[in-house]
Structure formats: C-alpha cells, structure tokens
Amino acid sequence: MLKKGDILIIASVLLLSAVSSAFIFTGKNTGKAVTVQENNSTVYSGSLFENKTIELEGNTVVIENGSVFISNADCKNQICVNHMPITAGGESIICLPNQVLVEIE
C-alpha cells in the first residue's frame, strides 16, 4: 500500500524529529529559573525550587518542589491544565487563549 514517495515523506519527517530532538536535548542546561509571561511581558521570574502560586488574570501557575504546572484556567479547552508538570530546562507550558507562557530556563 505504501509507495516510494510515501517512504521518502516518512523518512524526512523522521529525520526532522531526530534532528530537532538532537538540537533540543543536547547541551540542555539544568533549568533552575521559572519565567511566566503574559501578553508578551514577563510577569514573574524566580527559582524553580521556591514553592509559589502565581495568580494571573485567567490562570493559576503553581511552582512546587521543582516542577511547574498550571492548576487553573478560565478557558474552555483546558489544554494547559492537562499538560504534564514541567521540570527541565527548555520545557514550557502555553495557554493560547490567555497568551500565557510558562518556561523553565
């Protein structure tokens, strides 16, 4: 059922994910700082290991024992709330409707 062109497409998508993961996961620094952006401006920046709850306009960001998650969001889709807690540098959680970006650096 698969044709020659299909194999080429599959190979290039695999290559894309391999190359991009090589870029992202090598030389990854151990993230220690958390920044929270809302509407393109930084509203919070602090340590990953300082437990804290940050109330934003529509979201609640929780920093707890070295992991960060969004516990509450006022939007319908709840994508950011369902997102797994993030723990490592470079990881992020995004809430599109409220334009919130939580990132570990």
Partner 1 sequence: MAKKITVYALMAACAMIFGYIESFFSLSFIAPGIKLGLANSVVLLLLCRSDLKGALAVNTVRILLSALLFSTPFTLLFSFTAGICSTLVMRLFSGLKSVSPIGFSIAGAAVHNLVQLSVAALLFGRAVWYYLPFLSLSALISGGAVGAAALLIFKKLKTNAYF
Among 6, 50, 57, 74, binds partner 1 (CB under 8 A): 6
DSSP 38: E
- Determine the interface stretch with partner 1 among 9-17, 47-55, 59-67 (rule: CB under 8 A): 9-17
Q: Does 74 sit near partner 1 (CB under 8 A)? A: no
Sheet of 33-38, strand order: 41-47, 33-38, 100-104, 92-95
Nearest one of 37, 60, 62, 38 to 48, comparing CA atoms: 62
Is there binding between residue 27 and partner 1 (CB under 8 A)?
no
**Binds partner 1 by CB under 8 A, chosen from 43, 58, 83, 87:** 83
